[in-house]
A and B are shown apart, each in its own frame.
Chain A
Amino acid sequence: MSLDTPKLDTNQRQQIMSSVQQQMAIQNAQEILQKLSDKCFKACIQKPGSTLSSSDQKCISQCSDRYMDAWNIVSRAYGERIKREQLRH
């Protein structure tokens, strides 16, 4: 058993870091898509019909836009709160 484990070279490290980054981005996107579908289906489709009417589609589109707007506002507010808390302590 050797005590010297082979070191990662720069290339390998970069690859791993990119891959982790990508995975996180995908996970994030999946989470948002899941929430969007849940929220907007609930808000827009009261009685499921045999198709999505054009007013259903409009409602869903706007709902998903508003949810993303809300996500951005919440993200900013949360970041600012964290900064404020850091300054206090």
Chain B
Amino acid sequence: MSLNSLANDPELQKFVAAKELENQLAAQVHHLTNICFDKCLESSGNVSELSSRHTTCLQNCVDRFLDCTMLITNRTIQRMQQGR
């Protein structure tokens, strides 16, 4: 079994591509959990149960962070297009 066989196997290629995507998504979830735990549960991270307020905060945090990222991305692209 050579590296060539591995690289040229179409089924394996598809599998690896899918796994890489899965990895990226998982990394994003880790990143978001890290940020949103601090934002939403900072002082109460050791309660016995998450309240609905905590849950809502976490959900909003994910959406707002992604909105923030998209806004920054678009703005940065605009700047580059304007040549600034």
Contact = CB atoms under 8 A, between A and B. Distances in A.
A28 B26 contact: yes
Contact of B41 (A13, A70, A77, A78): A70
Binding site of B, secondary structure by majority: helix, strand, loop or mixed?
helix
Q: Which of B5, B22, B29, B55 has the most CB of A within 10 A?
A: B29
Contacts of B77: none
Interface residues of A, number: 36
B8 interface: yes
Contacts of A13: 9, 11-12
A20 B54 CA distance: 35
Contact of A66 (B4, B5, B41): B41
Contacts of B19: 20-21, 24
A77 B15 contact: no
B34 interface: yes
A73 B55 contact: yes
B46 A75 contact: no
Nearest to A9: B1
B81 interface: no
Interface of A: 5-8, 12-13, 16-17, 20-21, 24, 28, 31-32, 35, 39-40, 43-44, 58-60, 62-63, 66-67, 69-71, 73-75, 77-78, 81-82
